[in-house]
Structure 1
């Protein structure tokens, strides 16, 4: 007599809340398409395609004059430095705010700091740059501060969530055996969250490269400022060189960040 195979348990019933949430998302997507004046026929009209082709034809060939390439390389380095310094300042500020935001210093302080992080990351980099240009003047300093302010809000929230999600038992064990709170945090909790926090920081550096290129449009220096200048004068070939420099910079930073993340996860 062959034994009967154990029957599989019945699937759990679907929660009405999940079904309502899914229905609300579908309704939101449908309403978005219905409310936006999406003129697909005008977008793909022959006249529009001819105008776009004529506009793009003005970008070729890119400006390869040695003097202009030197100027472009200087702006590229300025954009890279803005993104790197802005990210480093945000890592320091985000880590400092993540400690109270993770509830390690009391519930009341946790709510206040998380509200501050919400404000910092809710204001886009362009708005921060416009505000800081008044105080710091034109140039990369205002752009660096704008990137640091917005990214501090993002990384502070991500770092706080990473600290809250670590296993608390190792730190509790160290503190039970007489270790100081700071030492227990540094030796037990922080090493668990550090790989994830480093991954978040590298990912935000990638984003800040793109943001730093855009911030130049409002006068914050770098490749974005060069791009705005040449486009405003309809110097399309020079603008094409700046766009190519942006693409190369983003590709190089993406590759470097990917390699660093792979090295950290091994």
Structure 2
């Protein structure tokens, strides 16, 4: 049989499924536009645009009184502290849960693996706002429930990411240490953890940036920080004060973004 007459190998299932998946996604997007009955003419009409312009104009000029700026400054520091402490706790407990969530082996290891994965899924599935609302019942108003809400949700996110990173670690360094008589803890500290430390840092910094925004939103339910005073002034239609708070949020996010970029650049250099 000549080479030209040989049958072509079948295409991989993945490549054949991609066009079908793409068409299904396009159909879902089209069905979404149809089912929502969006009235773009009302949203982009002259009257709607005029009302939005009038609303935006009411935010300016921002409130710059000394007393209000001091109040906003303390709320900014509170938001920063909430996000930093919540992310730090999540980085620690996420790592502790990621270790059993990445284990594989016998029946006992499978049970521990499944339990750890279930805890991470539960923590990650509940949004920060819901955690804060639940914790407000027991902890009361203030930054404590907001910090704990950030820590709980972020623990689920970081734990899942770190578990997958641990599962993909090359086994050769650990095998070398085991062959030389190293224990389980020593193998993890000196072979496994150094290989995922860069990812651990990158994931934690990224979540810290996200938690700055989340901490600002949590104030809406009374969890302290910038979000709480923003919700207060918006409810009273004090738009100039709300504009000052929004500018503080933007500045804080930009500061944390620049700081995390500097840390990543110097760590990975």
Structure 1-normalised TM-score?
Answer: 0.93
Provide the residue aligned with 1:206 in structure 2.
209
Measure the CA separation in 2 of the matches of 1:223 and 1:81. Answer: 12
Query: 1: CA distance between counterparts of 2:142 and 2:10?
Result: 58
Structure 2: gaps of 5 or more residues: 1-7
Distance in 2 (alpha carbons) for counterparts of 1:28 and 1:91: 37
Q: In structure 2, how many angstroms separate the alpha carbons of the residues matched to 1:166 and 1:21?
A: 31
How far residue 198 of structure 1 moved from its aligned partner, in angstroms, is 0.6
> Residues of 2 paired with 1:241 and 1:152: CA distance?
32
Asked if 1:167 corresponds to 2:170, the answer is yes
* Partner in structure 1 of residue 61 of structure 2: 61
The aligned counterpart of 2:28 is 28
Secondary structure of the 2:181 match is coil
- 1-structure distance, mates of 2:18, 2:90: 36
State the secondary structure of the residue aligned to 1:63: coil
Aligned equivalents of 1:108 and 1:28: distance in 2? 38
1:85–1:11 Cα change, 3 Å: farther
Backbone CA RMSD of aligned residues: 1.5
Task: Measure, in 2, the Cα distance between the counterparts of 1:180 and 1:51.
Answer: 68
Q: What stretches of structure 1 of length at least 5 have no aligned partner?
A: 1-9
Structure 1 residue 251 displacement after superposition: 0.5
Is 1:114 the counterpart of 2:117? The answer is: yes
The alpha carbon displacement at 1:14 in A equals 5.0
Q: In structure 1, what is the Cα distance between the partners aligned to 2:247 and 2:98? A: 38
Structure 1 counterpart of 2:90: 90
Q: How far, CA to CA, are the matches of 1:216 and 1:78 in structure 2?
A: 11
Give deviations 1:208-235, integer Å, cap 9, x for gaps: 0000000000000000000011111111
Q: In the TM superposition, what are the counterparts of 1:216-255 in structure 2 within 5 Å?
A: 216-255=219-258
| Alignment-derived partner of residue 194 in structure 2 | 191
The superposition leaves residues 227-261 of structure 1 with CA deviations (integer Å, 9 ceiling, x where unpaired) of: 01111111111111001000000010011111111
Superposed displacement of residue 96, structure 1: 0.6
1:94-146 superposed Cα distances (whole Å, 9 cap, x missing partner): 01100000116812211111111111011000000000000100000000000
Mapped partners of 1:216, 1:187: distance in 2:
41
In the alignment, which residue of structure 1 is the partner of 2:5? none
Instruction: Say if 2:148 is the partner of 1:145.
Output: yes
Give the count of matched residue pairs. Answer: 257
* Bigger shift: residues 204-213 or 102-111: 102-111
Q: Could you state the TM-score of these two structures normalised by the residue count of structure 2?
A: 0.92
Cα deviation for residue 24 of structure 1 reads 2.4
Match in the other structure for 1:6: none
SS in 2 for 1:166: coil
Quote the Cα distance in structure 2 between the aligned partners of 1:258 and 1:37.
Answer: 42
